[in-house]
Amino acid sequence: MPKAAEKVIEMKDVSNKSIERNWGNFGFDHNYPLVSRSSEMKDIFALIKKIAKSNATVLIHGETGTGKELIAGLIQFISTRSTKPFVKVNCAALPENLLESELFGHEKGAFTGAFQRRKGKFEEADGGTIFLDEIGDMHLTTQSKILRVLQDQEFSRVGGNQVIQVNVRVIAATNKDLIREIDVGNFRSDLYYRINVVNIQLPPLRNRREDIPLIAEFFRRKFSQELRKDVPGFHPETMDLLIHHNWPGNIRELRNMIERAVLLEEERKPIMPQDLAMPGRDYFAAGGKDRRKQSSTIMSLSTLKLADVEKEVILKALKMTNWVQKDAAKLLSISARVLNYKISIYKIKHPNWRKYSS
């Protein structure tokens, strides 16, 4: 088993083929827009596969932008409820009185402004899944009502007496530490134990750095297609920065950064470090400055050897073009035959080129 650091280095040059093979989500549907190959996520996928078809309640915990909603959607996507509604409720967005009517619906005249009967999210989700996002921010009164639905699968609309029965699978998510919330009296422990049947802890991106090149490449392709822009790849230094960045906003931050870079990048040029708009501190913390120093030493007069410079440039071009010699030759404005000759002179090797690795 390679060590984590080695795996990251391996991943620096993700070839197209390896991406296609690996963003198959460990056997999940290729149409679902979620990619990963880290061992941390692999364990989570294995768990999801086991529980998706059951009706077990799932609690997803993770920092902002780690993919909680995407994972909730995936569970629904591969469950037997996939053709039924997936209804999302953001428990933090609504004041308590509105949230209750949102969840359970209301009868006509239940409160001022309730001009007609309205179905709630639980009714809408009947047969499918309800996703209770930010459940850690739900008011205590609403928590007890949710608990009742979870126990009995029944409830009444606000202002009504009729008991409504539903068949709904519940997936809840939060970025709060619910045990701590229980300790300070903000969260009911009985509700916690009721929803915590299956617990999924999504690791932050900085703890699964092998995923960074893969997800970055996924978004480069997505936004290149959407924006109809030919942005061929990442400069190797850019990829190094991405891999070493701390990602406080996790995958959402990575996604936004790549979208912006594709938008701003000149056509037919790889994404350069300066296109990343990383805060300066992070850029230097990520080693950007050091690396620039290192690569410029090769240009300093005391060590300047034309052959070294040429080899360095060829290597960079090859990395930028995913080691496709034809493309690298084009980038260097030389013929493929000349490049091939220089590759043999400098004894440059890559596993993709079996016939050259003597």
Ligand X SMILES: Nc1ncnc2c1ncn2[C@@H]1O[C@H](COP(=O)(O)OP(=O)(O)OP(=O)(O)O)[C@@H](O)[C@H]1O
Query: Where do contacts with Mg ion occur on this chain (CB under 5 A)?
Result: 68-69
203 binds ligand X (CB under 6 A): no
Is 66 one of the binding residues for ligand X (CB under 6 A)?
Answer: yes
255 touching ligand X, by CB under 6 A: yes
Q: Which amino acid is at 132?
A: L
Residue 10 contacts residue 56 (beta carbons within 8 Å): no
Of ligand X, Mg ion, none, which one does residue 288 interact with (CB within 5 to 8 Å by kind)? none
Candidate segments 60-68, 137-145, 177-185, 224-232, binder of ligand X by CB under 6 A: 60-68
Query: What amino acid occupies position 92?
Result: A
Kindly give the interhelix angle for 236-244 and 211-226, rounded to the nearest 10 degrees.
120
- Decide if residue 178 touches ligand X (CB under 6 A): no
Question: Exposed (0-12), middle (13-18) or buried (19+): which is 268, by Cβ within 10 Å?
Answer: exposed
Task: Look at the alpha carbons of 44, 211, 63, 29 in this order and tell me if their dihedral is positive or negative.
Answer: negative
Closest CB 326 distance from ligand X, rounded Å:
30
Instruction: Note whether 242 binds ligand X by CB under 6 A.
Output: no
Kindly tell me which residue out of 65, 105, 273, 288 binds ligand X, with binding defined by CB under 6 A: 65
**Cβ contacts of 31 within 8 Å, gap of 6 or more:** none
Binding partner selected for residue 35 from ligand X, Mg ion, none, CB under the kind-specific 5 to 8 Å limit: ligand X
Contact characters 275-314, ligand X, x per CB under 6 A: ----------------------------------------
For strand 164-165 and strand 154-155, is the pairing parallel, antiparallel, or unpaired? Answer: antiparallel
Shortest Cβ 80–ligand X spacing (Å)? 22
Instruction: Report the alpha-carbon distance of residue 331 to residue 311 in Å, rounded.
Output: 14
- What are 73's two structure tokens? 């959607």
Instruction: Name the minimum Å distance from CB 68 to ligand X.
Output: 3
Closest separation in Å from C-beta 267 to ligand X: 25
Positions in 321-350 near ligand X (CB under 6 A): none
Contacts of 308 (CB under 8 A, 6+ apart): 298
- Which residues make up the interface to ligand X (CB under 6 A)? 33-36, 62, 64-70, 175, 215, 218, 251-252, 255
